[in-house]
Amino acid sequence: MTEYKQIFYTKENRVATITLNRPEKLNAYSEIMVHEILDALADARDDDEIRAVILTGAGRGFCSGGDIGHDFQYPGRYRGHRLESMLEMRENMDQLVTFLQRFDKPTIAAVNGPAVAGGLTLALSCDFRIAAESAKLGDTSLKFALIPDEGGAYLFPRFMGHERALKMSLFSEVYPARQAKELGLVTEVVADADLMPAARDWAERLADGPPLAIRITKRMMYKQRTMSLDNALEDAALATLAVNYTDDVKEGIAAFHDKRKPDFKGK
């Protein structure tokens, strides 16, 4: 397995876990980190044994957004170019957000601490967000005269509504986990000590499910958000050709009649 500098990547019991590992900066992302996450996600995508992915952070933070410290996020490959920031975003965080949105296997963000600005976008790019009681979520971009440029302006309103998202960003608001859940940013809140056990429980339950049906269901729900009902029904009808005649369907029906737990193989 590849040796990484700014993440930990482990695989166990059909679940891959990616841990952002810059705890001294509350896991602010850098170009190195972004590309290491992309590499790990590609490995999880291509490994048929992996059926779910957990994304979390080391130390006290999930992700505090882009690193605006000494090196301001990225090396100076485009330093001085008039399109510097646009080119850097396209080659880095934009790719990660897009990759997660297109990733067919279920993803869970285990939010262990602050998830703000690009860190919130990263969490919202996953399918589910389980937050520790002490976690905080929000958008602090404008505190630095920056903008929610990592996909936040697209994702924030889709989870919490336009007016609430605008208020969060323009006033640089950060919410405790339970308020973030009420606003639609978090799926579940648990005690700090229960965060990773809860995330692993969710991931392992998903890993026990029928892999092909899970992946197609996820893809359908993302695609059909922008479809008419007629197009969505046609899309679903076409998807049945890939699912309804699989061995997993036969196994699911047999397990139901035998009153046992099904053993899905993804075939």
The domain that holds 158 is classified in CATH as: 3.90.226.10
**Same domain as 223, residue 109:** no
Token pair recorded at residue 179 = 């308020």
Alpha-carbon distance 20 to 53, whole Å? 13
**Residues 93-141: tens digit of each pLDDT:** 888 999 999 999 999 999 999 999 999 999 999 999 999 999 999 999 9
**Which of 115, 113, 11 shows the shortest CA–CA distance to 61?**
113
pLDDT band at 199 (very low <50, low <70, confident <90, very high): very high
Which structural domain, as residue segments, surrounds residue 248? 211-258
Instruction: Say what the pLDDT of residue 150 is.
Output: 83
Whether 154 shows a pLDDT value over 70: the answer reads yes
pLDDT at 170 over 90: yes
Asked, for residue 1, whether it belongs to a domain, the answer is no
Domain identity same for 249 and 194: no
Average pLDDT over residues 77-101: 73
Q: Are residues 109 and 84 in the same domain?
A: yes
207-229 average pLDDT score: 92
**pLDDT mean over 60-65:** 94
CA angle, 32 then 33 then 35, to 5°: 70
Is it the case that residue 193 has pLDDT exceeding 60? yes
pTM: 0.89
Residue 131 to residues 62, 127, 195, 197, 214: CA-CA distances in angstroms? 10, 13, 7, 12, 23
How many structural domains comprise the chain? 2
Question: Does residue 169 surpass a pLDDT of 80?
Answer: yes
Average pLDDT over residues 80-104: 76
